Amino acid sequence: MSLPPPLTPDFIDHAWHPLTDARLQSNFVSLTWGDGLQWQAYSLWLRENAERIGIEPTVREGLLEPSMLPPADCLRTASVDPDGALHLAWRDAPATRVHPGWLRYVAQDRLRADHALPRQTPWTAADFCEPPTVDGSDVLHCQERQREWLDHLVRSGLCRLRNTPLDEAFIGSLMATVGPIRGSNFGVLFHVRTLPTPDSTANTGMNLGQHTDLPTRETPPGYQFLHCLENTTSGGASRMTDGLALVAALEREQPEAFHLLTTERWVFMNRTPDAEHRYEGAIIELPEGGRPLTLRAFYRVRSAPRMANALIPAAYEALRIFSRYAHDPRLQLRYAFEAGDLVGFDNRRVMHGRDAFEHDGARHLVGCYVDHDEIYSRLRVLQRPA
Tens digit of each residue's pLDDT (9 = 90 or more) over 81-109: 999 999 999 999 999 999 999 999 999 99
Among 70-79, 108-117, 193-202, the minimum mean pLDDT is found in 193-202
- β-strands 342-346, 158-162: how paired? antiparallel
- Residue 274's pLDDT is 85
3-state secondary structure the chain: CCCCCCCCCCCCCCCCCCEEEEEEECCEEEEEECCCCEEEEEHHHHHHCCECCCECCCCCCECCCHHHCCCHHHEEEEEECCCCCEEEEECCCCCEEECHHHHHHHHCCCCCCCCCCCCCCCCCCCCCCCCCEEECCCCCCCHHHHHHHHHHHHHHCEEEEECCCCCCCHHHHHHHCCCCCECECCECCEEECCCCCCCCHHHCCCCEEEECCCCCCCCCCCEEEEEEEEECCCECCEEEEEHHHHHHHHHHHCHHHHHHHHHCEEEEECCECCECCEEEEECEECCECCECCEECCCCCCEEEEECCHHHHHHHHHHHHHHHHHHCCCCCEEEECCCCCCEEEEECCCEEEEECCECCCCCEEEEEEEECHHHHHHHHHHHHCCC
Q: Are the C-beta atoms of 23 and 29 separated by less than 8 Å?
A: yes
Whose CA is closest to 79, among 95, 93, 101?
95
Torsion region of 320: left, alpha or beta (phi above 0 gives left; psi -120 to 50 gives alpha): alpha
Cα separation of 84 and 103, whole Å?
11
Cα separation of 117 and 102, whole Å?
19
Mean pLDDT along residues 37-48: 98
Instruction: Supply φ then ψ for residue 350, to 5 degrees.
Output: -100, 125
Catalogue the long-range contacts made by 324-330 (C-beta closer than 8 Å, 24 or more residues apart): 325/246, 325/249, 325/250, 325/254, 326/209, 326/210, 326/241, 326/246, 326/297, 326/351, 327/209, 327/210, 327/239, 327/241, 327/353, 328/241, 329/125, 330/124, 330/125, 330/126
Mean pLDDT along residues 337-364: 93
* Total residue length of the chain: 386
- Residue 361's pLDDT is 82
Q: Are the C-beta atoms of 158 and 132 separated by less than 8 Å?
A: yes
pLDDT at 170 exceeding the cut of 80: yes
Q: What is the mean pLDDT of the chain?
A: 94
Mean pLDDT along residues 298-327: 97
Q: Are the C-beta atoms of 282 and 262 separated by less than 8 Å?
A: yes
Q: pLDDT-derived band of residue 288, with 50, 70 and 90 as boundaries?
A: confident
CB atoms within 10 A of CB 386: 4
CA distances in angstroms from 150 to 147, 157, 226, 358, listed in the order given: 5, 9, 15, 33
pLDDT at 194 exceeding the cut of 80: no
- β-strands 75-80, 332-335: how paired? unpaired
The per-residue pLDDT for range 203-257, each reduced to its tens digit, is 777 889 999 999 999 999 999 999 999 999 888 899 999 999 999 999 999 999 9
Q: pLDDT-derived band of residue 199, with 50, 70 and 90 as boundaries?
A: low
Q: pLDDT-derived band of residue 273, with 50, 70 and 90 as boundaries?
A: confident
- Residue 196's pLDDT is 62
Whose CA is closest to 94, among 122, 43, 52?
52
Q: pLDDT-derived band of residue 1, with 50, 70 and 90 as boundaries?
A: very low
- Residue 341's pLDDT is 98
- Residue 159's pLDDT is 98
Q: pLDDT-derived band of residue 271, with 50, 70 and 90 as boundaries?
A: confident
